[in-house]
Chains A and B, each alone.
Chain A
Amino acid sequence: MTPSPETAAAAVPPITATAIATCLGRGAAPHLAAMRSGRSGLAPCDWGGLPIACHIGRVAGIEADPFPGDLAAWDNRATRLALAALEADGITGRIAAARSRWGAARCAVVIGTSTSGVETLERAYRARADGAPLAAGYSLRHHNDHQAVAAFLQRLCGLDGPAYTISTACSSSAKALVDAVQLIEAGLADAVLCGGVDSLCRTSLAGFDALELVSRAPCRPCDAARDGLSIGEGAAFLLVEREGSGPRLAGFGESTDGTSMSTPPEDGAGAHAAMAAALQRAGIAPAAVGYVNLHGTATPANDSAECAAVARLFGAQVPVSSLKGLVGHTLGAAGAVEAVMALIAMEAGLLPGNAGLATPDPEIACAVLAESREAPLSHLLSNAFGFGGNNCALVLAR
């Protein structure tokens, strides 16, 4: 028997707190304001010293923020982003309350990241002579190790349950939310701090540029003239608890393209499979979804494939937009960053517009929202797709 949306959603552990930091600012308020106005946080690249003309979504001020002295070994750009996200919206108090309620050993941590603290390692490589060892003071474990951010958060928040890192490129932190719900449903934890962190780094800037996927202008998802992505950085967290009130991950779907490391099939078959699985798990028909948050990276091939899949599954009527014109592509953090932004929009009764859209692509058969508009929303779907053909779709419900 297919459960009704209400019963399916009610059985899922709630998201009791969220946190976010991107180039738009720290906390829900600047994100809601930007989604309402369409004001982008992207700016000409002033970071990294690379001869790559592009726009980036840089989080202001993190270099000068205080850093907890007892955890100084973990001080890098990724953990600083995590701290920037945690400072707003009272999430640290909610985490502390969850810890007291459930016990530290029942509180898990699952973080999605693609590059962790590699930015510190990049500087360590540049500081050494050709062929020389890395500086004695460089600690791989505290910086570029994939687990570094999760290990830092475990210590910062005093959470003693299982902790691990999902690293499936740009779908990483959407999948971290899936793991959070699974850990609670499997009885392995009562609260899970999940989310995603990825910082600006030369590896990502130069790598995407080498693939000729970086736009020289602020990215224009779904636009006829779109010509690539803008790289952003950010951190977003969701606290999922066994009991409490808040929105829920009503469904999720995971799939693999199995065809290419970096280019989706033209019909977006893998994206379609992930979205269809997410709806099935949520026990809802496509028509119940009031908004689709596109992965929408603004590369010509990605947006075409994704929109083809969305149109095939939902029809051409469902409002869709990409948030990457506002914050850029935050890579491994994108799944959590955009899920949290979509939750902020849902709470406010807002359908966020597709910043950067000037001339809709006639080949895209979706109702791309040029501007934001007010509308009540009970269910939304948020996509995150990564290299390796790794797809994850989330259905979030009030």
Chain B
Amino acid sequence: MKLSARIGGVGLAGPGLADWPALSAAIAGAPWAPEPGWQPQPACLPSRAARRLSPTIRLALMAAEQIGPALPAEAAWVFASSVGEGETLNVILEALRAEAPAIQPLRFQNAVHNAAAGQWSIAAGLRGPSTSLAAHDDTAGAALLKALMQLRLERLPVGLVVYDAPMPPPLHEKRPFGLPLAVALALVPEGPEAPGLRLSARLAPAATHPPTPPGTEIGRALAASGNPAAALLPLLELLAAERSGVAALGLQGTQVLALGLEAA
């Protein structure tokens, strides 16, 4: 079965990378440096409500809201993060060291891996299917696989949000990410009227299709951060240049997701 879609929109959030045009410019060679002290600020929530949410949730929402307008209300959503709510988990685990732990109820319900997906569905008033997944360093590959499968089998446009944020110590040392990064893709079914570049995917042996390294300075910098969302950089480099090409994403086995991008 052929897996394919048009990319109807791209969202992006990271330090010094407030949106997709910012990353596109950096891919094209504009200077970029991670903005010190950067905090994700989604526009879809009042700032007081946003402050009650973890930086990870705010990061994911900031990317999601950029592709929201490219998708109908009934779209399916796929949220993907390797570590999920690390900051919230750390607060809970510290509290659990006490003999009689006191955990804030709101914090607990926002500790689930799908906290970002849930908060996005509330902010955007969504009622359709929503999935949250993880696959260690191959989270982006699994996410794109699921999103394209959902689009093909359910015949629904899919909003995909791949994100991870650095965890606080002592978790950080065990899985360090140099910076937060969220990438969102609006994937819409192919059709004569469908906008955007055409993305296709199939499984291929990892032995013959090694994961593609990024080819630009910012691509390499983001990949070097260790953030699993940066695995999408080779695809984003092609998208930014509106160039045809291929990329491969790992899937935690001997297969990779072999992607092809076709410019019009």
Contact = CB atoms under 8 A, between A and B. Distances in A.
Contacts, number: 223
B252 A167 contact: no
A161 B250 CA distance: 11
A182 B153 contact: yes
Nearest to A121: B93
B136 A145 contact: yes
Q: From B83, B110, B135, B205, name the one whose CB has the most chain A CB atoms within 10 angstroms.
A: B135
Contacts of B146: 164, 179
Interface in A361-398: 386-390
Q: Interface size for chain A: under 10, 10 to 19, 20 to 34, or 35 or more residues?
A: 35 or more
A125 B97 contact: yes
B227 interface: no
B39 interface: no
A270 B122 CA distance: 13
A160 B135 CA distance: 14
A50 B98 CA distance: 9
A185 interface: yes
Nearest to B106: A261
B48 interface: no
A191 interface: no
Contacts of B96: 122, 125-126, 202-203, 206
Nearest to B99: A51
B225 interface: no
Contacts of A257: 121, 127
Interface in A146-181: 146-147, 150-151, 154, 159-169, 175, 179
Interface stretch (A23-31, A131-139, A293-301, A334-342): A131-139
Q: Interface size for chain B: under 10, 10 to 19, 20 to 34, or 35 or more residues?
A: 35 or more
B36 to A, nearest CB: 24
Contacts of A151: 136, 252
B113 A146 contact: yes
A346 interface: no
B171 interface: yes
Contacts of A388: 112, 114-115, 117-119, 121, 130, 132
Interface of B: 1, 3, 76-77, 82-84, 89, 92-97, 99-105, 108-115, 117-119, 121-122, 124-136, 138-139, 141-142, 145-146, 149-150, 152-153, 169-171, 173-175, 203, 205, 251-255, 257
11 contacts: A104-B254, A108-B253, A134-B174, A164-B142, A165-B135, A168-B112, A183-B149, A211-B105, A254-B129, A258-B121, A261-B118
Interface of A: 50-51, 104-105, 108, 114, 118, 121-122, 125-126, 128, 132-134, 138-141, 144-147, 150-151, 154, 159-169, 175, 179, 182-183, 185-188, 202-203, 206-208, 210-212, 254-262, 270, 273, 386-390
